[in-house]
Amino acid sequence: MPKKFLKKQTTLFQRKVYEIVKKIPKGKFLTYKNVAELAGFPKAWRAVGNILNKNQNPKIPCHRVIRTDGRVGGYNQGMKKKIYLLKKEGIIIKHGKIASRFIK
């Protein structure tokens, strides 16, 4: 089977989401809504979550995307791993919520 059939197809929106998330620096984060807005689809925050949940590329730091209410949200490697990675980058989490500032 030719290699082109083995590659996973990605949409323009998925590529935009991955590019935005790749640019979030260590110790900073965005919300799913922020990512959707930056990608040009402000109401697609749930789609952003679904896209990031399926991501297997370690170069895309999905753990740096949180819920709008400040809670950590889901992660394809589990919430404990997401909390661990965020804390390792210096983000303060109290009572399951982020206590740091958002990047803009």
The count of domains in the chain is 1
Task: Classify residue 3: in a domain, yes or no.
Answer: no
Task: For residue 59, give its domain range.
Answer: 11-98
- CA within 13 Å, CB half, 35: 33
Task: Classify residue 4: in a domain, yes or no.
Answer: no
Task: Classify residue 19: in a domain, yes or no.
Answer: yes
Q: Would you tell me how many other CB atoms lie within 10 Å of the CB of residue 20?
A: 19
Helices in the chain by DSSP H: which ranges? 12-22, 32-38, 45-54, 79-88
Q: Which of 17, 38, 47, 62 is catalytic?
A: 62
Tell me the pLDDT of the chain averaged across its residues. Answer: 89
Task: Classify residue 6: in a domain, yes or no.
Answer: no
- The position carrying tokens 């950590």 is 72
Task: Classify residue 81: in a domain, yes or no.
Answer: yes
pLDDT of residue 45: 96
pTM of the model: 0.86
Task: Classify residue 52: in a domain, yes or no.
Answer: yes
Task: Classify residue 87: in a domain, yes or no.
Answer: yes
Q: Inform me whether the pLDDT recorded for 101 exceeds 80.
A: no
What CATH number corresponds to the domain at position 57?
Answer: 1.10.10.10
Nearest to 41 by CA among 55, 20, 27, 25: 20
Q: State mean pLDDT over 12-41.
A: 97
Bridge partner residues of 31 (DSSP):
66
For residue 3, the one-letter residue type is: K
Q: Inform me whether the pLDDT recorded for 30 exceeds 70.
A: yes
**Percent of the chain, pLDDT > 90?**
81
Q: State mean pLDDT over 55-83.
A: 94
Bridge partner residues of 98 (DSSP):
93
Task: Classify residue 69: in a domain, yes or no.
Answer: yes
| Catalytic residue status for 62 | yes
